[in-house]
Amino acid sequence: MYNLLKGKKGIIFGALDENSIAWKVAERAHEEGAEFVLTNAPIAMRMGGIKDLAAKTGSEIIPADATSMDDLNNLVEKSMEILGGKIDFVLHSIGMSVNVRKGRHYTDSKYDFTTKGWDVSAVSFHKVMNVLYNKQAMNEWGSIVALTYMAAQRVFPDYNDMADNKAYLESIARSFGYFFGRDHKVRVNTISQSPTPTTAGQGVKGFDGFISYAEKMSPLGNATALECADYTISLFSDLTKKVTLQNLFHDGGFSNMGVSDAVMERFIEE
């Protein structure tokens, strides 16, 4: 390990179980010398093994529903107390669509479901940054990262309204990132990750087909959760200080492919 985050303090949202991308980020951040607070929605605390992760990484857990300004204010205040100062890095690794969960087709969305999913998956990122910005909780040259998916730019029919949520999330990263950069020298980026077998990922209809197709299309193959964590660590480190307002594809090359030999083979008639 490289001590890339030695002395840095962070907040990590979204570690539900050991498959979660946030879980891998927490393990890697710990290995790289960071101290951090783990947080997740109160309901997820009861389901997941976040306590094991906290024990393993010497972290405290503060429950917070990322849609609640009260919870987020409490989280940021308590985190600064626990960590003994301002924050250097924040990971937003949160996504949920009620329409997906309830099996509603995109063309037949239920709009209170749409609103809830949009609040959890996209607006929560604005709320998190609002609290960090207004409490002046971030150190200069700090780094904020959210996770997204390429359905924000291109059509993946079964991704449902999460596609729209991700487009909104990526826009928030740019819009808020401008003010955070100008006023506090904090960078804000999104990482657009390959399909990854996690609880959220596997909630997408036809996920198995989806992940194998991406694997065959990508010259380097799909990026794993651990590889995503490595990339995230690089964005939290001082090696990427001037990278901001970006949507960064971490997908083995998938996003720039038209077709690959492996996919073509399946369509060539003998």
d(CA 22, CA 130): 21
Question: Is 2 part of the annotated catalytic residue set?
Answer: no
Nearer to ligand NAI, 9 or 127 (CB): 127
Question: Is 159 part of the annotated catalytic residue set?
Answer: yes
**Run of H or E including 127:** helix 124-134
Task: State the residues that interact with ligand NAI by CB under 6 A.
Answer: 13-14, 16, 20-22, 40-41, 44, 65-67, 93-96, 120, 147-149, 193, 195-196, 198-201
d(CA 86, CA 120): 25
CB of 203 to ligand NAI, least distance (A): 8
Do the beta carbons of residue 187 and residue 181 sit within 8 Å? yes
Answer yes or no: is 24 a known binding residue.
no
State the SS3 of 14-62.
Answer: CCCCCCCHHHHHHHHHHHCCCEEEEECCHHHHHHCCHHHHHHHHCCEEC
The catalytic position among 133, 159, 178, 213 is 159
Nearer to ligand NAI, 37 or 184 (CB): 37
Answer yes or no: is 21 a known binding residue.
yes
Nearer to ligand NAI, 121 or 184 (CB): 121
Nearer to ligand NAI, 59 or 184 (CB): 59
Pairing type for strands 60-61 and 35-39 reads parallel
Output phi, psi for 266, to 5 deg.
-75, -15
- Specify the residue for token string 């985050």: 5
Answer yes or no: is 14 a known binding residue.
yes
CB of 20 to ligand NAI, least distance (A): 3
CB of 199 to ligand NAI, least distance (A): 3
The catalytic position among 2, 106, 149, 168 is 149
CB of 7 to ligand NAI, least distance (A): 26
Q: Which residues are catalytic?
A: 149, 159
